[in-house]
Chains A and B, each alone.
Chain A
Amino acid sequence: MDTILVIISNPKESISRSDRELLAAGRILADQMSGQLMAGIFGNSVEESHAKETISYGADRAYVSADPLLVEENSEVAMQAVETLIQEVKPQAIIFIDKTSSREIAPRLAYRLKTGCVLDCVEMKVEENTGHLLLTKPIYGGKAVALFTASQIPVVVVLRTRTIDPAESDQNRQTDIKNLSLSLDSSRVRTRLVERILEQSEGANLEDATTIISGGRGMGGPEPFQLLEHLAQLLKGSVGASRAACDLGWVPTSWQIGQTGKKVAPQLYIAIGISGASQHLVGIAGAKHIIAINTDPNAPIFKVAELGVVEDYNNIVPHLIEEVRERETN
């Protein structure tokens, strides 16, 4: 039977939203192939609860491997675990969800196995006639898309976040958990973690935020972002930024939204002083309502926005803050 293998690495207390997106996507593919969805869960502290959750979110079987060497920064050690599992499961495709470790493991794995690798994949489906896996990825900063099929298996895929709704839990699914025994080569550890900092945007984590106020080059400097933080606070949202604002050091790089920043899917996204370069639009493809404020009436952002205002942020944002505050107090 055809198998799809998804990899869940270094889970925290519970399976993350991104991992649930991965499982949802994997389940759909497995069903299209009338096949099975296997999940490999690796990390330095993996519990039975992770495996049970993974099954409830759609996996037919969970392979578990916990080892002190399987920490996030040791991608070459993780590769050993993944290779062992591939030999066991023999999947058509192995899919990772987009994160740093996935981006280190996936291409090396594909090179080692001499199979194809598609990173930043936004859609996967099984072609009806041929049964081939069809992989879609955006190119040219999101202006165009390219579709690929693989001629060797397993094809290695890294799925972009926020392209699919996360799987819902179904406690009635049959639990099938296997411990995968590994003999890891510690000489493959070539990186040592010196320091790790977890950064959060003000308020909620950007990727989970339902409202985001975002600023770009049009903000002119770091101080005006305080206005955006104020507005975000009133709307119970978070603040993001375009690559330009981050590159200029006005705001932390962790606020960057775009092709090479965070992918967000808020109900409301207000882009202020952001021109709307394609790579930025990639980051907000999942936004429900986009509102743009820019001094340039020809800014590309207006092509994807639902509502737009041609105005300088300084002339409108303070008034928006007042309007919102008035409505809150009423």
Chain B
Amino acid sequence: MKIAICIKQVLDPDIPTSELHIDRDQKTVSTPNPSWVINIFDENALETALNLRDAVEDSELTALSFGPETCIESLRKALAMQADHAVLISDQGIESADSFAKTKIIATALNQLGPFDLILCGRETADWHGAKLGSFLAEELGLPCVNFVTQITKEGENLHLRRQTESGWEVLEISPPAVLTITNDDTNLPRIPKVRDSMMAFRKEIPTLTLETLNLDAQELKGNEVLNMTDIFIPESDQQCLMVEGEDGLEKAKNLISKMEELKIV
């Protein structure tokens, strides 16, 4: 099986709110000590992809990332986790591509590097919670897309996908090729790369695809803004927490229950 995974490098979303700076006029988000990580759901997807790659004979996994040169770091981590190949799609001409342009670019790259039996994405990005790329790619490529998958097994020519729903989970059968978006469960906690693999990853070549290599025209890709962001800010919060004290756990428990009764919470 030829498997592809699209990963996005994001500003670590677990930074405290106090370190998140928003320029309301420029509509930009920044932080004084930026820490860039692979989007957590893309890491879950990597783990799911690696498990599948290992389970199915003659399979290989290619990690792709679209963004500035610095995305190479995320691709190295993917290689260190034992992805087979990594490819960067980067071009200054289209750095702030809108989601439709991005889709077209990634789809073109996938067609050039493929054909792939499976294309995986994280279910959403932990920064903008877009949750669209997988579906957009599927629509562009004319493929089915199944969301919230956590486990994939090969059943003959088909694939069985375990995926979460709002009321539980289900197993769906599809026949590749397909796009899948991956969510977290206890089977796809991302592995921590071995030091040796991290060092080997540095020696691997990560080719860069530009708009030229992809035969795409920057001008043609622009002008598709269908959404305008009119404002961005951090909402004020004035919640005050009353701390319940006590000598020990027993006293704290009594004081807590009393306070809850006083405030008519119970």
A→B interface (CB under 8 Å) = 72-73, 75-76, 98-100, 103-104, 106-108, 110-112, 114-120, 134, 137-141, 143-152, 155, 190-199, 235, 243, 246-249, 253-254, 259-260, 267-268, 277-279, 289, 291-292, 300, 302-312, 315-316, 318-320, 322-324, 327
Q: A104-B146, A253-B186 are in contact. Are A118 and B124 (CB under 8 A)?
A: no
Q: A103-B147, A150-B226 are in contact. Are A111 and B100 (CB under 8 A)?
A: yes
Query: At the interface, yes or no: B68 with Cβ under 8 Å from chain A?
Result: no
A to B contact number (C-beta, < 8 Å):
253
A253 to B144, CA, bound (A): 25
Query: Is the Cβ of A190 less than 8 Å from the Cβ of B17?
Result: no
Query: Is the Cβ of A199 less than 8 Å from the Cβ of B168?
Result: yes
Query: Is the Cβ of B131 less than 8 Å from the Cβ of A119?
Result: yes
A73 to B163, CA, bound (A): 11
Shortest Cβ gap from A253 to chain B (Å): 5
Query: At the interface, yes or no: B130 with Cβ under 8 Å from chain A?
Result: yes
Contacts of A192 in B (CB 8 A): 172-174
Contacts of A268 in B (CB 8 A): 265-266
Least CB separation from B235: chain A residue: A145
Query: At the interface, yes or no: B192 with Cβ under 8 Å from chain A?
Result: no
Query: Is the Cβ of B227 less than 8 Å from the Cβ of A149?
Result: yes
Shortest Cβ gap from B219 to chain A (Å): 18
Shortest Cβ gap from A123 to chain B (Å): 11
Contacts of B124 in A (CB 8 A): 119, 260
Query: At the interface, yes or no: B225 with Cβ under 8 Å from chain A?
Result: yes
Query: Is the Cβ of A307 less than 8 Å from the Cβ of B241?
Result: yes
A134 to B237, CA, bound (A): 22
Query: Is the Cβ of A111 less than 8 Å from the Cβ of B139?
Result: yes
Contacts of A306 in B (CB 8 A): 239, 241-242, 263, 265
A152 to B227, CA, bound (A): 8
Query: At the interface, yes or no: B244 with Cβ under 8 Å from chain A?
Result: yes
Shortest Cβ gap from A251 to chain B (Å): 9
Could you give 27 example pairs across A and B, Cβ below 8 Å? A107-B131, A110-B132, A116-B226, A134-B230, A140-B127, A141-B14, A144-B234, A146-B229, A151-B226, A190-B178, A194-B160, A194-B171, A197-B168, A198-B167, A198-B168, A259-B129, A277-B14, A291-B256, A291-B265, A300-B16, A307-B242, A307-B244, A308-B241, A309-B252, A316-B252, A320-B253, A323-B257
Contacts of A259 in B (CB 8 A): 129
Contacts of A196 in B (CB 8 A): 165, 168-171
Query: Is the Cβ of A308 less than 8 Å from the Cβ of B244?
Result: yes
Which 5 A-B pairs give the minimum distances between C-beta atoms? A315-B249, A249-B186, A319-B253, A107-B135, A116-B227
A108 to B36, CA, bound (A): 29
Query: Is the Cβ of A104 less than 8 Å from the Cβ of B135?
Result: yes
Query: Is the Cβ of B29 less than 8 Å from the Cβ of A114?
Result: no
A278 to B235, CA, bound (A): 13
Contacts of B41 in A (CB 8 A): 260
Shortest Cβ gap from B180 to chain A (Å): 11
Query: Is the Cβ of A100 less than 8 Å from the Cβ of B165?
Result: yes
Query: Is the Cβ of A253 less than 8 Å from the Cβ of B127?
Result: no
Query: At the interface, yes or no: B243 with Cβ under 8 Å from chain A?
Result: yes
Query: At the interface, yes or no: B185 with Cβ under 8 Å from chain A?
Result: yes
Produce 1/0 per residue, B107-151, CB < 8 A to A: 000000000000000011011111110111011100011111010
Query: Is the Cβ of B147 less than 8 Å from the Cβ of A147?
Result: no
A192 to B170, CA, bound (A): 11
Query: Is the Cβ of A316 less than 8 Å from the Cβ of B266?
Result: no
Query: Is the Cβ of B184 less than 8 Å from the Cβ of A108?
Result: no
A28 to B92, CA, bound (A): 44
Query: Is the Cβ of A140 less than 8 Å from the Cβ of B164?
Result: no
Contacts of A152 in B (CB 8 A): 226
- The one of B173, B243, B263 in contact with A310, judged by C-beta atoms closer than 8 angstroms, is B243
Query: At the interface, yes or no: B20 with Cβ under 8 Å from chain A?
Result: yes
Query: Is the Cβ of B168 less than 8 Å from the Cβ of A144?
Result: no
- The one of A194, A247, A267, A327 in contact with B173, judged by C-beta atoms closer than 8 angstroms, is A194
A277 to B12, CA, bound (A): 12
A192 to B256, CA, bound (A): 51
A145 to B236, CA, bound (A): 11
A318 to B252, CA, bound (A): 12
Q: A147-B230, A151-B227, A303-B239 are in contact. Are A139 and B252 (CB under 8 A)?
A: no
Least CB separation from B173: chain A residue: A192
Q: A108-B138, A147-B232, A323-B257 are in contact. Are A118 and B128 (CB under 8 A)?
A: no
Query: At the interface, yes or no: B65 with Cβ under 8 Å from chain A?
Result: no
Contacts of B139 in A (CB 8 A): 107-108, 111-112
Contacts of B148 in A (CB 8 A): 100, 103
Contacts of A141 in B (CB 8 A): 13-14, 126
> Which of A72, A76, A103, A267 has the most chain B CB atoms inside 10 A of its CB?
A103
> Which of B129, B230, B260 has the most chain A CB atoms inside 10 A of its CB?
B129
Query: At the interface, yes or no: B248 with Cβ under 8 Å from chain A?
Result: yes
Q: A190-B144, A199-B167, A319-B250 are in contact. Are A119 and B132 (CB under 8 A)?
A: yes
Shortest Cβ gap from B166 to chain A (Å): 5
A129 to B174, CA, bound (A): 49
A119 to B186, CA, bound (A): 26
Query: At the interface, yes or no: B212 with Cβ under 8 Å from chain A?
Result: no
Query: Is the Cβ of A260 less than 8 Å from the Cβ of B183?
Result: yes
Query: Is the Cβ of B226 less than 8 Å from the Cβ of A115?
Result: yes
